[in-house]
Every structure is written in C-alpha cells, then in structure tokens.
Amino acid sequence: MNVGELVPIVLFVCVTFCLTYGIRLLVDARVRIKMLQAGGSKELIDSIVLGEQQLRRLGSLRWGIVLLMEGLGFGLIQLFGWTTITPGVVGLLIGSFGLGSLIFFVVARRFG
C-alpha cells in the first residue's frame, strides 16, 4: 500500500473521530443546560459532576494501563526479533491488550 492510498483513509478516520467527539460534547453540554434549567437540586448536580470526574479519571487510568501493556507487547516482539506478522505476534498484542484491561479492572475495583 502506498502513501497515496493511506492518506484518504487516515483523513476519513480523523474526521469521523472529530465529528463523533464534537457531537458527544454538544449533547453532554445540552443535557447539563437542561438539568440546570429544570432546577435540579444542588446535591444531584454535584453528584453528577463528581461522577463525571471519576469516570474521566478512570478512563485515563484505563488507557494508560492498556497502552503500557501494548508497549510491553511491542517490546517483547522487538526483543524476540520477530519481523513478520504471524498468529503468535497478533496473539501477543491482543493478549497484552486483554491483560491491560484486566489489570485496570483489578485496580479500579480496589481503588475506584
């Protein structure tokens, strides 16, 4: 595959991601505005804001752990000198992603 074919694909993925994220931000903002206009109790609004902060922190923790494990998987591939894509290489990468998710689950249950 040459670069001329890769650029439109990457551009499409980036535009799709940005639009999806932008729509999500707009919907979240609209929901918050409607809650404030409806006159919800201060405790309800505070609990929602604290819950969103907790979810953001846990999301960052999850992706940090998963990316760390993926980096270790790529490091093992480099260490073993594997240069071609084989089922073992793919299995190592998928396994490291799954292991990172399981580690996040344990950490989130213990500290979250």
Q: Quick check: is 44 in a domain?
A: no
Residue 111 inside a domain? The answer is yes
What residues make up the domain containing 83? Answer: 59-112
What pLDDT, on a 0 to 100 scale, did the predictor assign at position 73? 93
> Number of structural domains, the chain?
1
Residue 11 belongs to some domain of the structure: no
pLDDT > 90? residue 68: yes
Across 5-24, average pLDDT: 86
Who has greater pLDDT, 6 or 72? 72
Q: How far apart are CA 96 and CA 74, in angstroms?
A: 9
104 located within any domain? yes
Does 67 reside within a domain? yes
In a domain, 22, yes or no: no
pLDDT of residue 77: 92
Q: Which candidate, 77, 80, 69, places its Cα nearest to that of 106?
A: 69
Task: Note whether residue 25 is domain-resident.
Answer: no
